[in-house]
C-alpha cells in the first residue's frame, strides 16, 4: 500500500516536472533561471578550461578571481545580464544592477576587470552546467614525469649516523671480549689451584699483550706494516681532500626537487637563476619568482602544502584568497607588499669559491656559451642542489655537445685551468676575439712569440690569457 502511494507521488511529480520543462522549452523568451538547466557538461568543461580556468575555479578556491561554487544561488540578476557580464563586464556594470555593482566594488579593485569573453549564450549555458556539476577534478596526467628520473633522494630527517652506532657496538664488543677473557683466566687459575698447581701469575693487560706479541712476532709485524701503510694512504687522501667539496649537498630550508621543476614542468634553468646571464652570480630566485607559478600550484605531489607553504610564509601570500598581505596583515593585494616583514628563506650556499678567486657566470654562459650542465652536472635529475662530481659530469658528454671531459675535482683550481687549456674559443662569438685573432695573424702588429699559438689552428682560452694569474686572482 505504501509502495503504491510512493509510486503514485513519484509519477505525479514526474508529470509536473515534464510539464514545466515543456513550458520552459516552449517559451522562447529569456525565462528566469533557464540558463542553469540543460547545458552540455562536456562542452562546458572544454569551454571553461579554455576561457575561464586561468582565473576561476569551480570550487570555492580563489585563484585570480572568486571561485564559482554556488554561483546559481548567488546570481539573482537574470540570465541576460549573466551572459552580458561574461561577454562584456564593463557594459554589464553600466546596467546599474545592484548585485553586479557589489561584485565590481568588491573584486575589480583587487583582481581587475574580467576580460571580455567571446562566448555565446549557449556556451554560457554549457559552462554553467559544468560549473554546477563538475565531474571529479581530473588528477594531473599520469604520464607526467615518468620520463624524468631523480638520482638522489632527499635525506630523511633525524636519521641516525650509522657509523656512530658501529663505534658503540665495537666498544661493546671489546668490553665483552675482555671481560670474557678475564673470567676465563680467573677460572683457569682456580682450576690450577684446585689441582694443587700454582695459580697463573698476576699480570696487567699490557704485560700480557706484550708477551703475546713477542710470541707472535711475524703476525704482529705484518699487522703493524698494514697499519702504517693504511695510515699513510688515509693521511695522503685526507690532505688531498682539503678544499675539495665534490658531492657537497647541504640540507635546504625547503625540500626543493629540481627534477620536478626542470624535467617534468620544463622550467628553464634561466627562469629561476636568471642573473647567470647578467652577473657573476647565478643567484637563488627570490620568492616573487617562485610565486609566478606557485600562485596557482598550491600543493606539491610529494610534500603537499608544507613545503610550498614556506614560500607563502616568506612572501606573505594567503592561499585562501589568492592575494598578498601587507605588513599590517591585511589581505587583498595582487602583488607582494614591500612592507610585509616575512623572514627570508635561508638557503645554504652549495658552490663556494674562496674569496680570493674571481669567477663570473656571465662570462662563461654568455661569451663562452657553456651549458649549465658542463659544470653543474645533470641538475634536472637532482633534488636539492649539490656540487657535481667530475666523473658524473664526464658521463654527460653524449647529451651535451662540446662538453669537455676533465680529470680534476670540480671547483678546484686544477679543474679550472685544465678546462681553460682544453676549451677552444669560438672566434665568431664576439668581435673582441675576432680582433685579437686578426692582430695575432698580422705580421706587422703580431708578436712572433705569440704566433706559435696558431700552429695547431686552435685558439684555446689559455692562449688568450686564460692562464694568467690576474684573470682570476686580483
**Could you say which residues in the range 185-224 bind another protein, by CB under 8 A?**
212, 216, 219, 223
**Long-range pairs for 428-437 at CB < 8 Å and ≥24 separation?**
429/367, 429/368, 429/369, 430/367, 433/459, 433/464, 436/464
The reply to whether 251 sits near another protein by the rule CB under 8 A is: yes
The reply to whether 286 sits near another protein by the rule CB under 8 A is: yes
Q: Are strands 317-318 and 323-324 parallel, antiparallel or unpaired?
A: antiparallel
The reply to whether 243 sits near another protein by the rule CB under 8 A is: yes
Residue count, binding to another protein (CB under 8 A): 91
Sites for another protein among residues 18-47 (CB under 8 A): none
Sites for another protein among residues 106-125 (CB under 8 A): 108, 111-113, 118
The reply to whether 179 sits near another protein by the rule CB under 8 A is: no
**Residue 304 or 465 having the CB closest to another protein:** 304
CB of 423 to another protein, least distance (A): 22
Q: Which stretch binds another protein (CB under 8 A): 156-164, 389-397, 435-443, 455-463?
A: 156-164
The reply to whether 264 sits near another protein by the rule CB under 8 A is: yes
The Cα–Cα gap between 92 and 98 comes to 11
The Cα–Cα gap between 349 and 13 comes to 71
Q: Choose which of 69, 80, 88, 248 interacts with another protein (CB under 8 A).
A: 248
The reply to whether 267 sits near another protein by the rule CB under 8 A is: yes
User: Which SS3 state, helix, strand or coil, does residue 300 take?
Assistant: strand
The Cα–Cα gap between 415 and 405 comes to 10
The Cα–Cα gap between 384 and 261 comes to 11
**Residue 20 or 170 having the CB closest to another protein:** 170
Helix axes 121-132, 41-51, angle to 10 degrees: 100
Q: Choose which of 15, 21, 149, 177 interacts with another protein (CB under 8 A).
A: 177
Q: Which stretch binds another protein (CB under 8 A): 13-21, 61-69, 94-102, 433-441?
A: 61-69
**Residue 29 or 118 having the CB closest to another protein:** 118
At CA 58, angle to CA 55 and CA 61, rounded to 5?
A: 70
CB of 56 to another protein, least distance (A): 8
**Residue 274 or 408 having the CB closest to another protein:** 274
Q: Choose which of 50, 151, 232, 397 interacts with another protein (CB under 8 A).
A: 50
The Cα–Cα gap between 281 and 344 comes to 19
CB of 163 to another protein, least distance (A): 5
Q: Say which DSSP state 265 is in.
A: S
Q: Choose which of 288, 363, 426, 429 interacts with another protein (CB under 8 A).
A: 288
- Please name which of 265, 437, 277, 415 lies closest in space to residue 351, comparing C-alpha atoms: 415
CB of 280 to another protein, least distance (A): 9
Helix, strand, coil % over all residues of the chain, rounded to 5:
50, 0, 45
Q: Choose which of 241, 327, 369, 402 interacts with another protein (CB under 8 A).
A: 241
Residue 354 CA to chain centroid, in angstroms? 27
**Residue 6 or 166 having the CB closest to another protein:** 166
C-alpha cell at 346: 635561508
CB of 18 to another protein, least distance (A): 37
The reply to whether 70 sits near another protein by the rule CB under 8 A is: no
The reply to whether 386 sits near another protein by the rule CB under 8 A is: yes
> Would you call 378 exposed, middle or buried from its count of C-beta atoms within 10 A (0-12, 13-18, 19+)?
buried
Q: Choose which of 54, 120, 192, 447 interacts with another protein (CB under 8 A).
A: 54
C-alpha cell at 465: 690569457
CB of 285 to another protein, least distance (A): 7
The reply to whether 256 sits near another protein by the rule CB under 8 A is: no
The Cα–Cα gap between 117 and 87 comes to 5
Please name the residues in contact with 394: beta carbons below 8 A apart, sequence gap of 6 or more. Answer: 405, 406
Sites for another protein among residues 391-450 (CB under 8 A): none
The reply to whether 249 sits near another protein by the rule CB under 8 A is: yes
DSSP-assigned states of every residue in 303-345: TBTHHHHHHHHHHTEETTTTEE--TT----BSS--TT--PPPP
**Residue 48 or 75 having the CB closest to another protein:** 48
Determine phi and psi for 6, rounding to 5 degrees.
-60, -50
The reply to whether 184 sits near another protein by the rule CB under 8 A is: yes
Torsion sign over Cα 336, 342, 344, 346:
negative
The reply to whether 52 sits near another protein by the rule CB under 8 A is: yes
The reply to whether 99 sits near another protein by the rule CB under 8 A is: no
Q: Which stretch binds another protein (CB under 8 A): 57-65, 67-75, 431-439, 461-469?
A: 57-65
The reply to whether 165 sits near another protein by the rule CB under 8 A is: no
CB of 257 to another protein, least distance (A): 14
The reply to whether 281 sits near another protein by the rule CB under 8 A is: yes
Sites for another protein among residues 325-354 (CB under 8 A): 334-336, 338, 343-349, 352, 354
The Cα–Cα gap between 16 and 146 comes to 54
Amino acid at each position: 500500500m505504501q509502495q503504491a502511494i510512493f509510486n503514485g507521488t513519484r509519477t505525479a511529480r514526474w508529470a509536473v516536472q515534464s510539464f514545466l520543462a515543456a513550458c520552459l522549452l516552449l517559451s522562447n523568451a529569456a525565462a528566469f533561471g533557464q540558463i542553469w538547466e540543460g547545458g552540455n557538461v562536456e562542452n562546458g568543461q572544454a569551454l571553461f578550461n579554455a576561457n575561464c580556468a586561468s582565473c576561476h575555479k569551480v570550487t570555492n578556491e580563489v585563484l585570480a578571481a572568486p571561485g564559482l561554487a554556488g554561483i546559481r544561488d548567488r546570481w539573482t540578476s537574470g540570465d541576460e545580464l549573466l551572459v552580458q557580464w561574461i561577454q562584456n563586464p564593463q557594459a554589464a556594470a553600466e546596467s546599474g544592477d545592484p548585485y553586479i555593482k557589489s561584485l565590481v566594488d568588491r573584486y575589480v579593485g583587487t583582481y581587475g576587470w574580467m576580460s571580455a569573453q567571446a562566448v555565446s549564450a549557449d556556451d554560457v549555458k554549457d559552462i554553467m552546467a559544468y560549473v554546477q556539476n563538475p565531474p571529479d577534478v581530473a588528477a594531473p596526467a599520469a604520464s607526467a614525469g615518468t620520463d624524468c628520473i631523480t638520482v638522489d633522494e632527499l635525506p630523511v630527517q633525524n636519521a641516525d649516523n650509522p657509523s656512530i652506532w658501529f663505534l658503540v657496538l665495537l666498544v661493546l664488543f671489546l668490553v665483552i671480549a675482555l671481560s670474557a677473557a678475564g673470567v676465563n683466566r680467573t677460572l683457569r687459575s682456580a682450576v690450577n689451584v684446585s689441582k694443587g698447581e700454582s695459580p697463573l701469575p698476576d699480570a696487567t693487560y699490557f704485560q700480557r699483550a706484550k708477551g703475546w706479541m713477542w710470541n707472535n712476532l711475524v703476525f704482529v709485524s705484518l699487522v703493524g706494516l698494514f697499519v702504517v701503510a693504511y695510515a699513510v694512504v688515509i693521511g695522503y687522501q685526507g690532505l688531498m681532500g682539503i678544499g675539495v667539496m665534490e658531492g657537497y649537498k647541504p640540507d635546504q630550508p625547503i625540500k626543493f626537487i629540481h627534477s620536478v621543476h626542470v624535467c617534468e614542468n620544463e622550467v628553464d634553468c634561466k627562469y629561476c637563476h636568471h642573473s647567470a646571464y647578467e652577473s657573476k652570480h647565478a643567484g637563488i630566485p627570490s620568492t616573487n619568482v617562485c610565486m609566478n607559478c606557485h600562485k596557482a600550484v598550491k600543493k606539491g605531489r610529494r610534500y603537499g602544502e608544507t613545503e610550498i607553504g614556506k614560500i607563502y610564509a616568506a612572501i606573505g601570500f594567503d592561499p585562501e584568497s589568492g592575494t598578498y598581505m601587507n605588513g599590517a596583515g591585511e589581505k587583498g593585494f595582487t602583488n607582494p607588499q614591500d612592507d610585509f616583514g616575512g623572514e627570508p628563506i635561508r638557503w645554504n650556499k652549495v658552490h663556494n669559491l674562496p674569496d680570493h678567486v674571481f669567477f663570473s657566470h656571465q662570462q662563461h654562459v654568455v661569451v663562452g656559451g657553456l651549458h649549465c650542465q658542463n659544470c653543474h652536472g645533470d641538475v634536472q635529475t637532482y633534488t636539492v642542489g649539490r656540487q657535481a662530481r667530475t666523473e658524473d659530469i664526464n658521463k654527460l658528454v653524449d647529451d651535451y655537445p662540446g662538453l669537455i671531459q676533465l680529470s680534476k675535482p670540480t671547483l678546484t683550481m686544477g679543474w679550472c685551468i685544465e678546462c681553460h687549456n682544453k676549451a677552444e674559443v669560438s672566434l665568431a662569438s664576439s668581435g673582441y676575439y675576432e680582433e685579437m685573432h686578426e692582430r695575432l695573424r698580422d705580421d706587422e702588429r703580431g708578436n712572433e712569440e705569440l704566433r706559435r699559438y696558431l700552429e695547431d689552428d686552435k685558439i684555446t682560452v689559455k692562449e688568450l690569457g686564460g692562464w694568467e694569474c690576474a684573470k682570476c686572482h686580483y
